[in-house]
């Protein structure tokens, strides 16, 4: 950007280039006449108008820069709030998964305990009575097999949940 105090270089068609001056239809004479007050005021007015336009463009650019900075700040705030919410959700999910695992383990213990009680009752009843009929033995074996399948399924679910929790806790949340 040129300094306001610098002396402009003559341009074609300006009074300083030795060419025709505004309104002149004849060739300029070799001896130039100094510009009139009106021409000087007209030139100053044009320069002032150009300066006002430049100032207006600079102010608009400054306003746009400030607006961009506010938008960037707002986006950053939204991202931080999103990260906090995500962290809260991960903590809640881990607590729920731990609660599900504890509940499944308790249920598995109850099933195993009930199965043992039934087996002991059947065994106690069978000792006092005559040998158990084949149909009762098959029912007992079927019940034991059912409990075994349920226990295996619960064990798989508990293992999968524990693995999921281990993976989540090993990866710290990003800030």
Q: Which structure tokens are listed for 49? A: 């108008």
DSSP class of 25: -
What percent of the chain has a predicted confidence (pLDDT) above 70? 73
Asked whether the CA dihedral 91, 93, 97, 102 is positive or negative, the reply is positive
Q: In this structure, are residues 115 and 144 in contact, taking their beta carbons and an 8 Å threshold?
A: yes
Distance between CA 85 and CA 64 in Å, rounded?
32
CB within 8 A of 94, min separation 6: which ones?
A: 165, 168, 169
Q: In this structure, are residues 36 and 29 in contact, taking their beta carbons and an 8 Å threshold?
A: no
CB atoms within 10 A of CB 33: 9
- What pLDDT is attached to residue 84? 94
- What pLDDT is attached to residue 167? 63
What's the pLDDT band for 3 if we cut at 50, 70, 90?
very low
Q: Which residue has the higher pLDDT, 175 or 77?
A: 77
Distance between CA 112 and CA 148 in Å, rounded?
9
Instruction: Tell me the domain boundaries of the chain.
Output: 37-170
The mean predicted confidence, pLDDT, of the chain is 77
Report how far apart, in Å, the C-alpha atoms of 88 and of each of 91, 93, 109, 168, 172 are: 5, 9, 32, 13, 13
Least trusted range by pLDDT, from 12-21, 27-36, 65-74, 75-84: 12-21
Average pLDDT over residues 142-146: 86
- What interhelical angle do 134-170 and 37-128 show, nearest 10? 160
Q: Which structure tokens are listed for 151? A: 């226990």
């Amino acid at each position: 950007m040129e300094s306001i105090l610098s002396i402009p270089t003559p341009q074609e068609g300006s009074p300083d280039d030795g060419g025709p001056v505004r309104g002149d239809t004849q060739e300029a004479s070799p001896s130039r006449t100094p510009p009139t007050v009106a021409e000087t005021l007209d030139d100053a007015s044009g320069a002032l108008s150009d300066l006002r336009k430049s100032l207006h463009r600079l102010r608009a650019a400054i306003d746009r820069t400030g607006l961009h900075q506010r938008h960037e700040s707002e986006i950053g705030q939204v991202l931080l709030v999103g990260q906090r919410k995500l962290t809260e959700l991960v903590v809640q999910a881990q607590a729920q998964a731990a609660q599900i695992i504890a509940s499944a383990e308790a249920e598995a213990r109850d099933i195993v305990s009930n199965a043992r009680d039934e087996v002991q009752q059947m065994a106690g009843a069978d000792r006092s009575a005559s040998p158990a009929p084949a149909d009762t033995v098959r029912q007992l074996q079927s019940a034991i097999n059912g409990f075994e399948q349920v226990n295996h399924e619960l064990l798989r679910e508990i293992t999968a949940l524990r693995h999921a929790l281990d993976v989540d806790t090993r990866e710290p949340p990003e800030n």
